[in-house]
Amino acid sequence: MINGYFDMKDCFNALKLFERMVMIGVKFDLVTILVIIQACAEFGCLKLGMQIHAMAIKFSYSNDLFIVNALLNMYSEIGNLELAHEVFNTVSSHDAALWNSMISTYIEYGYYDEATSLFIRMLKDGIQEDERTVIIMLDLCEKLADSLKGGKSLHCLAIKNGMSLDSSLGNALLSMYTERNCVESVKKVFSEMGNVDVVSCNTLILALARNNLKGEAWELFGIMQESEIKPNSYTVISILASCEDDIYLNTGKSIHGFVIKHGIEINQSLNTALVDMYMNCGNEAAARNLFDRYADKDLISWNALIASYVKNDNADKALLLFKEMIAEVEPNSVTILNILSSCTHVASLPLGQCLHAYIIRRESSLGFNLSLANALLTMYARCGSIRSAEKIFRSLPRKNISSWNTIITGYGLHGHGCDAIRAFKQMLEDDFQPNGVTFISLLSACSHSGLIRKGLEIFHSMVQDFNITPKLAHYGCVVDLLGRGGCLDEAKEFIRLMPIEPDASVWRALLSASGIHTDIQEAKTICENLVQLEPTNPGNYILISNIYAATGLWAEVRKIRTWLRDRGLQKPPGFSWIVVRNQVHSFTAGSRSHPLSNKIYENLSSLLFLVKESGYVPDFSCLSHDEEN
C-alpha cells in the first residue's frame, strides 16, 4: 500500500500510512525504509527526513548502499547539500551509483569545480565508472563555456571501457556535440548508435538546422514520418530552427499545418517556436495571433517575443510588450537585458533610468549580474549620459573585458578620445588583456576626436605589442581616421598596402571622406570599386549622388536616380522617433501612418512659416538626397 501511494505520487498518504504502521507495531524492513526515504524527498520536509534517517541508523539499515544513496538523494532534493555530503563521507565503501549521486548533486547546486574534482578522485580511487557517470559528466560539459576537450575525453573514456552507444549514452554525446556546434561529430555518433530514438533524431535535426544543412534536416524529418519513430513536438521545434527568414515562410506554414493535421500537442515550447518562426519569416500578425491566443504563456514565451522584436529592429513594440508582460509575469535578467537594448536603440534615457531603478529595487532577487551592469553602461553612454555610465563603471564590484570595451566605446561616442585612451591605459594597468573589439572602440574614438597620430600608434601597437591580427573592421577604422582628418592620399596608400582585399565598408569610409572634402574625381573612382563589390546596394549610389548634389552636379544626380529607378533599386527609408510619456512614436519621411499625423503636419507648417518669416534661409548643401522630393 505504501509503495502504491508512492507510485501514484501521493507521498502524504504514503507517509501517513507508514506512521500508522509504526504506531500499531507492525515491523518494517529495508524495502519500507527505502520507499519512505524517497517519499520524504518528494514531500520536501527536512525534519521528517532526519527522523527517517535516525530510524534507518537505529535499525541498522544505514550501511546498506541503496539506503545511503536514497538518503543522499533525499537531502539533495530537500535542499541540504551539507547533509548530503556528510552522508557520502560516512560510508567507507562507495560504489559507482553513490559517486554518481554526489557528483550529480554538486552539478545541480552549481558546484562545477567540486563535481570535476570528485570525478577525478573517483578515477584515482579505482572506482569503476559506468555509463551513468559519463552521462552526468557530459551534462556538466554542456554547462561549461569551454569544455569541448573534456567532452571528447569522456567520449574516448566510454570507447576505451567498451561502453555501448545505447540511446542514453548516445543521446548525451549527441547533445554535448550539438551544444558545441560540432555537426560532423553529431552525425558520426548518430551513425554509430545501436538504437536511435526520437530524442536522437530530434538532436541531429537541430544540429543540422543550426549549421544551415537544411536539406539533410528535412531528409531526416521525412524518414521519421515513414518509420516507427514518429515526430513529436520537439522534432517540430528542431526543424523550425531551419526557418529563419521570409523565404521560408511557406515552409514554416507547412510545418504548422503538419502539427495541426497530426494532432501534435502545441505546448509552451512549441508555441514559442512557432511564434519565433513567424516573426523571423516576417509574418508578425500570425506570430501575435498565436502568442495572444495561448493561455498559459510563461516567462520564456514573453522573453522570446520581446527578443524577436528587438532582433527585428522593432524596439517600440518590444517596449509595449514589456508593459503588457509585467502585468502577467515577473521579468528576469534576460527580459531586462532585451528591454535595455530597446532603450538604447530608441535612445530613451528616461525609460532606461526607470529600468535602472527597477533593477536596484529587485537587486535581492536578481543579484549582481555583470551582463546587466554592462547593458546599463551601454544604455547610458548611447543615450547621452556618459557621466552616469562612468558612475556605474566605477561602482562595479568586478569588471570584465566587455565592461572596459563599453566605457571606451562610450567615450568615443561622446568625442572624448583622450578619456578613451586613459581608460585603455588603466585597463592595461589592471591586468586586462585587450581584444579586437577594444581596438575597434579605440580607433573609432580617435577618429571622432581627430586624434590621427595617436590612432595610428594604437593600430601599430595592436599588431606589434598585443599580437592581434587586424580584421577588415580595424582597417576600415584607420581609413575613416585618415579620411576624416583630410589625409586622403595617406588613406589611399593605406588601402593599397593592406594585406587583405578591402571590402565595401573600407571603400565606403574612403568615399565618405572624399565627400566631406569634395574630391569628385576621387569619389568617382571609389564608387566604381564599390559597385563592383556591391552592385545591388542602393546606399552606395545614394552616397555618390549626395556628393554630386553637394557640388551642384545635378545632371549626374539625375543620371544616378534614373539608373536606380530602371533597375528597381530603392534604399529603405530612414526613420526617426521620439519618446513621449514612455511611449515611442516613430516616423518616416512623408508618412501619414501616425494617428495624429494631421495635427503634426499642421504644427510643422506653422513652424516652417515662423522660421521663414524670421528670415531663415534653408541650406540644402548637406541634405541627404535619398528621397525623390
**CA–CA dist 277, 259 (Å, integer):** 14
**CA–CA dist 515, 571 (Å, integer):** 19
All residues at 6 or more sequence positions from 507 whose CB lies less than 8 Å from its CB, including other chains: 495, 526, 529, 530, 533
Cα pseudo-dihedral 113, 114, 120, 122, rounded to 10: -160
All residues at 6 or more sequence positions from 160 whose CB lies less than 8 Å from its CB, including other chains: none
Q: Which DSSP string corresponds to 74-137? A: HHHHHT-HHHHHHHHHH-SS--HHHHHHHHHHHHHTT-HHHHHHHHHHHHHTT----HHHHHHH
What pLDDT score was predicted for residue 93? 67
Contact between 174 and 185 under an 8 Å Cβ cutoff? The reply is no
**CA–CA dist 377, 381 (Å, integer):** 6
**CA–CA dist 118, 121 (Å, integer):** 5
Is residue 167 exposed (0-12), middle (13-18) or buried (19+ Cβ within 10 Å)? middle
Residue 195 DSSP symbol: S
Residue 616 DSSP symbol: -
Q: What is the mean pLDDT of each run of 10 residues along the chain (629 residues)?
A: 87 88 88 88 83 85 83 85 84 80 87 88 86 90 76 89 87 90 92 90 92 90 89 91 84 92 90 92 92 89 91 83 88 87 80 85 70 90 91 90 94 93 94 92 92 93 91 91 85 89 83 63 73 76 76 79 75 70 72 84 90 78 48
CA 591 to chain centre: 34
Residue indicated by cell numbers 544616378? 560
**CA–CA dist 189, 170 (Å, integer):** 7
Contact between 550 and 515 under an 8 Å Cβ cutoff? The reply is yes
pTM of the model: 0.66
Contact between 516 and 483 under an 8 Å Cβ cutoff? The reply is yes
Q: In terms of DSSP bridges, do strands 583-588 and 575-580 run parallel, antiparallel, or are they unpaired?
A: antiparallel
**CA–CA dist 495, 14 (Å, integer):** 79
**CA–CA dist 172, 175 (Å, integer):** 5
Residue 162 DSSP symbol: T
Write the CA distances from 401 to 147, 326, 418, 625, integer angstroms.
21, 32, 19, 41
C-alpha cell at 81: 547539500
Is residue 590 exposed (0-12), middle (13-18) or buried (19+ Cβ within 10 Å)? exposed
Contact between 448 and 412 under an 8 Å Cβ cutoff? The reply is yes
Residue indicated by cell numbers 526520437? 198
Contact between 19 and 28 under an 8 Å Cβ cutoff? The reply is no
DSSP H/E element including 138: helix 131-143
Work out the number of other CB atoms within 10 angstroms of the CB of residue 89: 10
CA 42 to chain centre: 34
Contact between 354 and 331 under an 8 Å Cβ cutoff? The reply is no
Contact between 269 and 202 under an 8 Å Cβ cutoff? The reply is no
C-alpha cell at 584: 515611442
Work out the number of other CB atoms within 10 angstroms of the CB of residue 245: 9
